[in-house]
Amino acid sequence: MIKIKRRSEQKKEDTWDLESIYPTKDDLNADVRLVKENTEKLEEYKGKILSSSSNLLYVLDTSFGTERVIEKLFTYTYRRYDEDLTNDEANRQKGEITNLYTNYLERTSFIVPELLQQDEKIIRKYLKENSELEKYTLWFERLFDKKKYVLSEQEERIISAFSNSLNTSENIAGILRNAEIKFYTIKDEQEKEVEINNETYQTYVTSKDRRVRHDAFYALYRAYQEHKQSLAEALQGNVSKIVTENKLRGYSNSKEASLIHNRVNPVVYDTLIREVHKHIDVLYNYFKLKKDVLKLDDFCLYDVGVNLAQDEREYTYEEAKKIVLDVISVFGDEYKRTAEEAFRDRWIDVYPNKGKRGGAYSAGSYDTKPFMLLNFQGKYDDVSTLAHELGHSMHTYYSNKNNSYLYSDYKIFVAEVASTVNEMLLNYYMLEHSNDNNEKKFILSEMMELFKGTIFRQTMFSEFEEFMYDTVEQGKTLTSDVLAEKYYDLNKFYYGKDVVINEEIKYEWARVPHFYYNFYVYQYATGLIAACYIVNRILSHEENAVTDYLNFLKTGGSMDPIEELKVAGVDITSEEVFTKAMDMFNELISSYQKLDQ
């Protein structure tokens, strides 16, 4: 276990290189001044953007150039804050940049409505006559697609002005979940009293001691049951807000609004649910395996999360780097050299320190390194996280390198593909290179949990989310009883007859923050399904599999996300892609059964 140090005690080479963004405070302040100056200059063009092609060019170049600088400022200040959340100066600086961005958005909110309210013919004429505008052709095509959903400038301003107030439901739910709900205590494995809350629940519901699992499950959902009306009202308020805005904008329904906004055909959502239903027996097989391995007569929901195997092995960071570099060498010399650069040139903040943000992520801007935050502590999960976040950063690197700023930002729909490809390849690499049956069991268990939690659970969440929006769009109310009944029925379907569906699970919806994210979670499932198909092609040594994948990483935001996946050889609307993923899950189950005999 890694000792938790103070930030000042960390070795320089183990921290990210934020000085490469702004070597001095003066450099940062110069960019702040530039944003303020550009904001004022852009305001002068209100009502005049399409007076000439030169005006249009200036407004577009200046606004995108300013946003590029703002992203750089955000990258620096948010990464600096995340190093130590107790650093008041970093917190103040982050707040100033957030306010700077808010001010920019408010004062330039006229730009898109003004462009859309004018005759398209004028813009198309300017695009033809001014060669410097040619780079914006695709951007305008995408903008015109949204035209019928954009309101007048005054209406957009009103919606923008009410945005903070309309987020009240989500904020209240967050306060309830994280601060005001009185959670219950149980006795842990050593008979010590511990509170079961959102942070501690996972530790105790996966305990080897079944009594602890049982008590943790009932303690958590008892607390949520006592607040079911308040949390149902918050969820109703959030869904109603989104449904109302989407109706005002002219969308057929909220699912369509969310997916079209991300340039994803709604058929993808329907295909996901249909294909998961078709292959639900694979999940049932996994639960049967768990029940048999755990030797339980009755297999309950509080047994579902127990790991089938434990891994006591520890890794140094140097060992983790070597393993990950071996894994990604399958992508060729250029990819590996860049990954080596990531380790050498301090893209990564490696170890936990006092005050540092927990978890892990990859985040950067067009003009910075794609930084990675880790909290490496030497477990296999930390090695997997390193591979995962490196996948994100390499995706960003290739996107930025091969596209202009305008088309470098890939959509959320494909954002988890590269990271999951790395994670899956690591798992298969470890299985191939291990001579320890227990280690193999542990890795297989981790992989099967990934399938269960990412494909099936997130699809169940997606079904529940669609139900919520359909209910409100039909003029009905999301009462706590309506939500509980639907959630319970979905659990019965997804877990099957061999799992005891404890009544208390019907209140789990109350603790899931993703239900406030507006048709978001389905992308976790489609991302893993796409990654499985890519990994299968690579491991099968299919011709052009690696080349296709690298070309996919280079597309950035230059294509619609479904078309980008096709570059990698994946048609996410096809039955074959889902079947490959389910076959992979079945093979993992079979492999575990053979090792367990």
String of b and e for 121-146 (b: at least 16 CB within 10 Å)?
eebeebbeeeeebebbeeebeebeee
Give CA torsion, residues 132, 133, 137, 141, to 10 deg.
Answer: 170
Contact predicate 143/116, CB 8 Å:
yes
Q: By C-alpha distance, which of 593, 504, 591 is closest to 226? A: 504
String of b and e for 242-277 (b: at least 16 CB within 10 Å)?
bbebbeeeebeebbebbbbeebbbbebbebbbebbe
Q: Could you give the CA distance from residue 458 to residue 448 in angstroms, rounded to a whole number?
A: 14
DSSP string, 336-376: HHHHHHHHHTT-EE-S-BTT---S-EEE--TTS--EEE---
What are the φ and ψ backbone dihedral angles of 195, each rounded to 5 degrees? -85, 140
From the CB of residue 526, how many other CB atoms can be counted at a distance below 10 Å?
Answer: 31
Q: Which distant-in-sequence residues (6+ apart) come within 8 Å of 131 by Cβ?
A: none
How far is the CA of 156 from the CAs of 42, 209, 210, 247, in angstroms? 18, 55, 54, 14
Indicate the helix (H) or strand (E) that contains 314. Answer: none
Q: By C-alpha distance, which of 439, 409, 453 is closest to 555? A: 409
Q: Could you give the CA distance from residue 255 to residue 466 in angstroms, rounded to a whole number?
A: 7
Name the token pair of 580.
Answer: 């490959």
In three-state secondary structure terms, 205 is helix
Contact predicate 441/585, CB 8 Å:
no
Q: Which distant-in-sequence residues (6+ apart) come within 8 Å of 114 by Cβ?
A: 46, 47, 49, 50, 153
Strand partners of residue 482: none
Active site residues: 389
From the CB of residue 512, how many other CB atoms can be counted at a distance below 10 Å?
Answer: 17
Contact predicate 434/424, CB 8 Å:
no
Strand partners of residue 193: 187
* Strand 371-373 to 348-349 pairing: parallel
* Strand 499-500 to 299-300 pairing: parallel
